Amino acid sequence: MKNYTPIQPDWLSKTLAGIIGGGLLSFSIIGLFAWFGPSGLTASLSDTELLWKTQFNMWLSVPIWLLVMSFTYLFRSGAQAWLCLLSASAAGYGVLAILRGLL
């Protein structure tokens, strides 16, 4: 007996949501991590630290993006995938903008 609503495939819509929405979300997380995580941009970094931290930030964006893309197909529908990913990244960029304004 099914006691759940089956997920819709919505291949195209979910794939695009994963690529675009997932990319936006990934970089909003990287933004918060780059500015306010350890060795953040608000502190004064040594040349060596900046050199390697920037590379690490770039590297980190890819696994986050790929994981979001992988699990996008779990959303009930394409529309829901877009809604969740876009609002999550909007929240991320919002927090980033507020924090950068404050600090």
Interface residues toward another protein, by CB under 8 A: 4, 6-7, 9, 27, 30-31, 34-35, 39, 41, 47-59, 61-63, 66-67, 69-71, 73-74, 96, 100
Closest distance to another protein from the beta carbon of 90 (Å): 15
What's the rounded Cα separation, in Å, for the pair 101 and 83?
27
Nearer to another protein, 66 or 90 (CB): 66
| Residue ranges in 4-103 assigned as alpha helix (H) | 11-16, 22-36, 47-71, 78-102
Minimum Å gap between C-beta 87 and another protein is 19
- 68 contacts 25 by C-beta, under 8 angstroms: yes
